[in-house]
Chain A
C-alpha cells in the first residue's frame, strides 16, 4: 500500500494549535506521508511547525457531538499529540470527519514498520550528497589509530558475512593469539554469538575493557575451552582480570535454568567475578513512563512529586549505571586490570556501562567527534537494537514489546557527568538533547535498524544520510560546543551520592518556561566567554574559535602601538 493511501484528508483550515506556555495559534494543518505541518495564516513572518510523524508517540482524540448532530452544527474535534521528544500539542480541528481522518492518518503513518519506507530514505537536502563514506570510523580505523593494540591484538573479519554473530559488525578486535576457529567456537558458547571482543584499550596502561553476552553454561555447567582460552589471552601476563556481571548473583544462577549462565571460578581461575544488579527491558521502559508522568503531574504537592519520582526508579537506574561504570574505571585505572563486561544479551546495559566507563577514562571520547565515534562504535556498530528499543517512548498506549530507553539512560548519565565536570566535555547539553530526539525520530539513517547486518540489507548506508557526519559540519557543530571546554587528561570520576545526582530537567522539563530561563542564562555564559576570547586572544589552539582570530585584539593593538613609541 502506498503511503499516501493512508491520507484521507490532507489539508484542514482553521485549526487551532495549543502548545504549553505559548498563546494559541490558528492556521492550516497539513498531513503528508512523513510530516505533520502546521502553518499560521499570517502573510508576513509566518510561523510553521513541522513534526515528523515518527516522532508522534501517542494520539488522543476527543470529538464533540460524535453522534447525532450534523456537521453544520459546528462540531469539532480535539486531537492531543504526544511526541517522543515529550512535547505535547493540542489541535482543535473543525469538522468531526476531518478530525477523525487526520487522527487515523497520523496513527497509521506514525507506526510504519518497514525501514525503507521511513523518512530517512526520502530525506534529500540540497547541501548533502549521498556519495562518499558513511559514518565516522570503522573497527579497522580504530585499530589503526590505537597504537597500543598493534602488538597483542588483531582485527578479525570472521564475522564478515554476519554468520558468526548476527548483531556484531563485520570486523572486531580480538587477541592476536586467538584464531578465527576459536572465535567461532567461543561464539557458539555465548548468547546470540556475542563472543568477547575488545571495546576499549586504556591509553595509560594498556588495560582493556571487553564486552560480550552471557556464556551458555546451562544447568549442567557446560564449558568451552576456546572461550576460556580467549579470556586467558586477554589478560596474558597479568595475574587477574575482572568480570563485571550486570546481574545479581541470584539472577545469574537463575539464568542457568534457561541455558544461560556465568563464568565459573573453577574454569576461569584468573578472573574475579563481580555482580552488579541492573534492571533491564520492560522495567526501565516503565520507569521512563512513570517519570514522564510524574513530571507532567498537575498537582503541586511536593510529597506527591517526591514519591512519584522515587517510584519511577529512574534516578536509581542512573545511579547504578554510573556506579558500575565507576567500578569498571576503578578496575582499569586504579587497579590496573582488564575487565570483561556482560549482562545477558550484551546489547543493552553492557553497552551502557562500557561506553560510560570510556567517557570517564578517555579524554578522546569527551570531544564532540570522540563522543560521536564512541556512540557509533559502542552502540550502532556494536548492535544495540535501536529499532526495537526506540519504537515507542513514554506516552505510547501500544503494548510494550522490546522497548527500552537504555540509550536515553546513557544520555542522562552523560549529562550527570557533565553537571559534575562542566569543563571536561567539549560538547554541551544541546548535543545530548539533539541525540535524545534523533534516536526516536530522525531525518537521518544513523539510528535505523537493529544491527549492521540489517542496515546492510536495507541499504541504509547507500540511501540515507549520516547524522553524525552532519553534526560535525563546522556551522552545525558550533551550536553543540561547550564554551567552557578545557581538555583534561585525567579520569573524571563522578560522585554517585544520591545528593549529587539530579533530575535531568533539560530533557524532562524541556517544554516549560523554566527551560527558557535556563536557555537565556546559557546564552549569557556564551557571550561572556566570547567576550573573554575576543579580549584575551586565543588561549586554545585546538578550537574553532581560535581560527577566526586573524585580526589582533584591541589589547594587542595598543600594546604594539606602545612598543612602537
Chain B
C-alpha cells in the first residue's frame, strides 16, 4: 500500500534566514496524537541510554603529594583554589582550572590532621600531629619563604579543626574539644564529656553556634558554644569517622560510620536516624555536603566514592578508578559542579558532580533539550527498563564480591530475626526495631 504524502509549500515551513526560528505548524489536539505516550517513552529510553553513554565523571588527577592525602580545605571565596594536607605534613594549594599545584609547604611534622580556611579567605588554619595549630597566609601564593603567621601550641593531641562561620572562633578536637579565639594563644574553652579521643569536629554553617564532634567511644556530641558547651551525646553501634552539617538545613547532619553506612540525623531527634544510606561495602571514612544541601558525597575504605541524595537510602552514583585506594577525604566544590577526592595513594582526583553533565556554556536549545531529557527520565523513572539502565554501573570486582557477601550476611540476619520471633513464646517476642533506630544505642543528657 502506497500512501501519498501530502505535500506543502516549503515557504510555509522553511525559515528565510539562518536566524529565523523554524516555522512548525502544530496541532496539539490529543486526538491527532494517539501515540504520544509510547513516543515519549521511547524518548525517555533514549535519554537514559544517552545519559549512561555520556557518563564520564572523571575530570582530572591532581598529582603532587608525596604521601597519602588526609584532608581538604575549601576556599570560601574562590572556586579555583583548594588546599590539601598529607600524611607527611605537607600542605598543597591547587589551582583547579589548570590542575596544578601552585604552592606547597611543610606545615607540620607528622600528619596534617585538619585544614580550614578563615571565612573571609585570608588565612588557612592547619592542625597536625605535632600538637600545633598554625595559621597560614593565603595571599602570598608564590612566596617561597613559607612560615606560618601564627603558631599555637596545644597541650593535647589535635585531630581536627573547624572555623565558626561568623565569629573569629575556631574549634579543635583531640583529647577534648577546644575553643580558640583567633587573637589568643590559648583555648578560651575546654569542653569535655568523657575521656575519649575526639576524631572530628565541625561547626554548623547555618545555626552557626552549634558544634558537633564524634569520639572514638562511638559517641557523637553536640555542643552549643554560646552557653554551656556540650548539650547532648548519643552513642552508636560503631564509631563515626566524619561528620558534616547540611549547609541549607540547620538541623540536619550526616555521619560517616564504620558500619559501612552513613546516617542522616536531625538534632532534635537523635533516637532514630532520618535516613540510613547504604551501599558502601567498607567503612565510610569521609563525607561532604553539596552546597545545595540536597546531596552529599562520601568516601570509603572500599576505594570508591558515592553520591547520595539526602532522602534516598541508595546512592545515586559511584565513582572509582583502578588505581584509587582507600579514600580518606572528599570535598564538594562550592559551585555544585565538582567533587574532589583524596586517597591513600597520594592523588587528589577531580570528578564531575553529575556524571553525564556537559561542561561549559550551553546554548539555549541545548539546554532545553537536556532539560527535556532530564524531565523524561524523571517522569519514567519507575518503569523497569529505565530504572534498570539508570541503575546500571560497572563496579570493581572486589566491591561486587563484597556486596554479594554483605547481602548474604544481611539476609541471614533477617532470617534469624524472623526465626527467633517465630519460635519465641507468644507475648515474649523481641520488639521489632526499625533499621533507623538500630544503630543508635544510647542517648545521653
- Judge: A and B partners, yes or no: no
